[in-house]
Structure 1
């Protein structure tokens, strides 16, 4: 399983079919083996795209992670036809992204955690992915109360024992993930959560949690706002006389890989996180992210200092930056 996975939330939403297939091909050819999707991604069409791409012998070479609990609205009709218009609008007016995301979020049905919905959603996922099993099945943004829903946990146990699911778990934000860490469930063996320079609060808990859970970090750059804030944080560290000179010199270096090295290695080195899943639709982003992990300029001690500075920084939003469905 590759340390970097491909987050597919934007496929057939913000990104069109051609761009999405090109991103899948580039990631696969580069050795990426972890692909993260959900029943709701691409307005319900993303799983089908992955099923098409990974049909045949490719399937056994990758880890497919999907989710249930958020259902897409009706992808047909006018909503489907206006997606290309929305993409074009964002290309010329990116400041409207928040408005488009809000409209997109209105097209989904969250908190769908009945047993009947789980069964129906999962069978649809298998059919769309063109497979008879998924490697990881996650609850998608459940409330904490679902973790106590014994019939739900028993159904997930049944699916894992049948071999249709290799590993079950939860994809959620901090409060729910903390509860997953504390629960030590015999059923829930994976946890996916936002972890970026502005949501490092879980970093103190992840090493212990990793002893019993597969940890997956999503939204590592925190979107466009997060990238800007991260660059500001790098500037603060570069000018801080309390930071060792050797580290300030590394932060003063220019180059396209400084930011991904700073972000991705802060997340995966010595934290217990097994996989980080940025959305890498552009070949340049894929290349720089892989290079950042393969050739990191920072030592383990320097990354520990960076994480400490991020947790203590006034720039940091401890609650993290929420992940929204991509149009």
Structure 2
């Protein structure tokens, strides 16, 4: 496993990060979730990403239990705040001071830790003054409840505004967590250049496009039983944009590229996002320990220009590049 600095900070994280969105507390049983976490640790993964909204807190609880007994200083635990939690009352979402201060304490309790290494704004909150949000994050850092602050799916303009306020308040934004894969490259045009300018790294999610880039979904065929595309708890909704015959046919053309490199298609997809020097880590999820081991094999892989060209030729114009697709919800969810 290799490790990368997070933004301009001195914090290193494992370039393969284990995340439990759509799995812990939802898709898989707790014993299987714990087995996946153990497989991640065995693979050298030290960084674990979750959020308070995942399974309405259950994902944090499962992760906290799975990591109990590990040396805390040897781990980097990441969580987030924004989406609705609890009974979903009027103040149970967003980035108000009230919600941030209550949410960090609840997350720490569920995760069984005194602090998180990175606390992230899960989206941009248009209904709360940015000054209020940044002041709350500054106070969370000063209280020792989070060591670093990041965001998720913020636009270039939002990153610039947030970083300016953060610096005035004595801290910095060090990361952004966007969706990024061979198929979904919307951050490349604006977010990545702004992030380089601001000293912010990307911690990217869905590097295998919710499983599409593994090649297991075949054009003209029903999704495999038990796959994310059949999960009615949320997975099916997230993956449906890629489940069309044109995309799936193009993805099948990546198989010989991976084979020539001695990689699985999942490893090729994860390695591809890690070639971007603004990416600090690729988040992988899993429902089985062997998936963790396979994805972790992408660490340290270098793809030369010829390989990247073959990928682009295989995928053609199905790749989404529109920067406008990097956008937060216009109103706070309830």
TM-score interval for Structure 1 and Structure 2 normalised by the shorter chain: 0.7 to 0.9
**Which residue number corresponds to residue 277 of structure 2?**
271
**Which residue number corresponds to residue 102 of structure 2?**
120
Structure 1 residues 273 and 156, CA gap change in structure 2 (3 angstroms): same
Report deviation, 1:282: 1.7
Structure 1 residues 71 and 6, CA gap change in structure 2 (3 angstroms): same
Give the Cα separation in 1 of the matches to 2:311 and 2:195. Answer: 18
* Pairing of 1:1-327 with structure 2 (within 5 A): 1-9=13-21, 10-73=23-86, 111-143=93-125, 149-172=130-153, 176-183=154-161, 184-185=163-164, 186=167, 187-205=172-190, 206=192, 209-210=195-196, 212-225=199-212, 227=214, 228=217, 232-236=249-253, 250=257, 253=260, 257-296=263-302, 298-299=303-304, 301-302=305-306, 304-305=308-309, 309=313, 313-318=316-321
Report deviation, 1:136: 0.5
TM-score for the superposition, normalised by structure 1: 0.72
Higher share of residues assigned helix: 1
Give the Cα separation in 1 of the matches to 2:102 and 2:16. Answer: 30
Give the Cα separation in 1 of the matches to 2:85 and 2:159. Answer: 29
Give the Cα separation in 2 of the matches to 1:214 and 1:145. Answer: 26
Question: Which stretch of structure 1 is more off in the superposition, 2-11 or 257-266?
Answer: 257-266
Aligned residues of 2:49 and 2:79 also touching (Cα < 8 A): yes
**Which residue number corresponds to residue 239 of structure 2?**
none
Report deviation, 1:199: 1.2
How many residues align structurally? 274
Which string of whole-angstrom CA distances, capped at 9 and with x for unpartnered residues, describes residues 48-95 of structure 1? 222223234422111100011123345xxxxxxxxxxxxxxxxxxxxx
Gaps of 5+ in 1: 75-105, 239-248, 323-327
Gaps of 5+ in 2: 1-12, 218-241, 328-334
Give the Cα separation in 2 of the matches to 1:63 and 1:129. Answer: 12
Structure 1 residues 180 and 268, CA gap change in structure 2 (3 angstroms): farther
* RMSD between superposed Cα atoms in Å: 3.3
Question: Which stretch of structure 1 is more off in the superposition, 7-16 or 154-163?
Answer: 154-163
TM-score for the superposition, normalised by structure 2: 0.71
Give the Cα separation in 2 of the matches to 1:21 and 1:8. Answer: 11
Report deviation, 1:221: 1.3
